[in-house]
A and B are shown apart, each in its own frame.
Chain A
């Protein structure tokens, strides 16, 4: 599985945009980039995934670098409920496992 590097922690203010970076320089050409988050006292939940093109859904946007060695998860207007640990996960060829890195702890200030 490709190794990922994410900041240990980030802070944002409520209703401001948040850009969460992830480096995955060893990603293979067939790996999709998945993002999950884990709210306090809950299991992880899926946020978004992509391969090459930028992706949007109701939760977030995913911007993928042209060389695919990095990606950025964008929360357009952070809310207090977005405070969580965010995990960037390249999905390997087997497709069955999720290998979680240390993730980024996002704090949202009121």
Chain B
């Protein structure tokens, strides 16, 4: 099973709403990622969790709050979003987080598996 499941597939929310995006994998992966993708643009990394701890935050505004309750689940809590936050939010997982320095072969094969994404519209 190489599936990363994201729910919901579509979400429409107002600027005052609070909502959450969910991501689940059962591949035993210990690294999980959130990416944001605007229309016709490539995905951009937002957050990385390694062994359930936040390891990378790409200067994402605090209205996006990630959470990793356990090694299989990743949430993205949304609050007070702006219309420009409308995008496709992608979750990914990989077997192991990266390491500093020279890449061992098993890390070089550290394939990321992506979900189909949640398409978010902020009104």
Contacts and interface: CB of A to CB of B under 8 A. Distances in A.
Interface string A74-87: 00000000000101
Contacts of A102: 41-42
B45 interface: yes
B116 A43 contact: yes
A43 B114 contact: yes
Interface of B: 4, 31, 41-45, 48, 50, 55-56, 90, 92, 97-103, 107-117
A95 B116 contact: no
Contacts, number: 71
Given A95-B110, A96-B55, A30 B116 contact: no
Given A43-B114, A49-B108, A103 B42 contact: yes
Given A85-B42, A94-B100, A96-B56, 4 more contacts: A42-B117, A43-B114, A46-B111, A101-B42
B42 A96 contact: no
A93 B100 contact: yes
